[in-house]
Amino acid sequence: MEKVELGWDEFWAEIFRVRHRRAIQGIEQYDKLVVAFIIEVFTLKKGNEILDIACGAGDHSIEFAKRGLKVTAFDIAQSLIDVAKKRAKDEKVEVNFYTGDMRDMSFESQFKAAVMLSHSFGFFNHEENKRVLMGAFHALKDDGCLLLDLMNPYNLPKFQKTWTQLEGGFLLNEPHVLDAHAGVLTGRPAMFFDMEEDRIVLMDQDALSNNDIRMYTALEIREMLEEIGFSKVEFYGQHILPRLPYAANSERMVVIAHR
Ligand SMILES: C[S@@+](CC[C@H](N)C(=O)[O-])C[C@H]1O[C@@H](n2cnc3c(N)ncnc32)[C@H](O)[C@@H]1O
């Protein structure tokens, strides 16, 4: 089999965010539960504006739109925005899609809520991560709230080597590794056995290094958010109802910050 290396956008966006996500059993139902949690926690009403930062293939954005919210969805990967636009059209909902870098968002006092789902925070160095939070702060109205849905740094999933059957082939995932000194979860190398093209698709160096995630603790996140100007910061232990308090053994660390 021929081996090819693909960069971050091609490998991550198409193989991971689209094919891999769609192969997860029950994911659509799960997305609905996450959206229901956010609507309840933020007491969102039909017509309220929400910003989905790093929206990926738009699965949550489309679900918010189906519930009557005015959704703006933002991602750096044009290929994902294209997939999301097509799905929104098929589902007959309206979503404003933007392609851009979350470090350079320029929304001003527009949204009642902003969300970053499936651990879409911490991809950059500390200053840049703070800049993302600042962009979210400015995007919110005075009574707006931000939600970060993060893995719990004190209770990371037990990452394992996995084989998954996807449309057109098989994905082999190596486990993530936590660099305890840097507090960074390193990108997990993955390989796609593309049976349609009869080739093995590998991640190039850019794809691998662009996949690292800084794992902040609750204390660190609170400090960053308060420095930026958020007034009240709360934590929950899961991103579905019922609301569970955050603890060391929680499944997730869900951060809610009020502007
Ligand atoms: C973990 S995925 C989450 C996608 C989606 N929120 C979900 O729950 O399925 C992270 C997303 O962040 C996007 N992303 C990465 N770097 C970005 C950047 N600098 N600006 C905007 N989006 C970015 C990726 O394209 C990817 O869609």
Distance between alpha carbon 71 and the CA centroid of its chain, in Å? 16
Q: What pLDDT sits at residue 19?
A: 81
**The residue type at 10:** E
Q: What is the pLDDT of residues 63-118, one digit of tens each?
A: 999 999 999 999 999 989 999 999 999 999 999 999 999 999 999 999 999 999 99
Q: How far apart are CA 26 and CA 28, in angstroms?
A: 6
Residue nearest to atom 10 of ligand 1 (CA): 120
**For residue 193, what are the CA distances in angstroms to 1, 166, 223?**
9, 10, 44
**Two structure tokens written together for 231:** 């007034």
Protein residue with its CA nearest to atom 17 in ligand 1: 76
Say how many Å lie between the CA of residue 54 and the centre of ligand 1.
4
pLDDT tens for 29-55 read 999 999 999 999 999 999 999 999 999
Q: Is the separation of the CB atoms in 90 and 25 below 8 Å?
A: no
Give the model's pLDDT for residue 73. 98
Q: Provide the pairing of β-strand 70-75 with 95-99.
A: parallel
- CA nearest to 120, candidates 133, 105, 109: 133
In the reported structure, the alpha carbon of residue 120 is separated from the centroid of ligand 1 by a whole-number distance in angstroms of 6
Alpha helical stretches, state H, 5-52: 8, 21-22, 27-41
* Residue 23: pLDDT band with limits 50, 70, 90: confident
What is the C-alpha to C-alpha distance for residues 110 and 4, in angstroms, rounded to an integer?
Answer: 43
Which ligand 1 atom minimizes the distance to the CA of 124?
19
Q: What separation in angstroms does the CA of 68 have from each of 45, 61, 94, 171, 255?
A: 8, 11, 10, 36, 24
Atom of ligand 1 nearest to the CA of 77: 25
Stated pTM of the model: 0.94
Ligand 1 binding pocket mutation candidate from 16, 24, 35, 76 (most atoms within 8 A of CB): 76
Chain center to CA of 46: 23
- Index of the ligand 1 atom closest to the CA of residue 102: 20
User: Are the C-beta atoms of residues 70 and 101 closer than 8 Å to each other?
Assistant: no
What is the pairing mode between strands 190-194 and 184-186?
A: unpaired
Strand partners, 233: 257
State the Rg of the chain over Cα. 18
Instruction: Say how many Å lie between the CA of residue 209 and the centre of ligand 1.
Output: 15
What are the start-end ranges of the H helices in 96-248? 126-139, 205-209, 218-228
DSSP output for 237-259: S-SSSSP-B--TT-SEEEEEEE-
Residues with CB under 6 A from ligand 1: 13, 17, 54-56, 59-60, 75-77, 80, 101-103, 117-120, 123
Give the C-alpha separation, 185 to 156, whole Å. Answer: 10
Kindly report whether the peptide bond that precedes residue 245 is cis, defined as omega within 30 degrees of 0.
no
Q: 186-220: per-residue pLDDT in tens?
A: 877 889 999 999 999 998 888 887 789 999 999 99
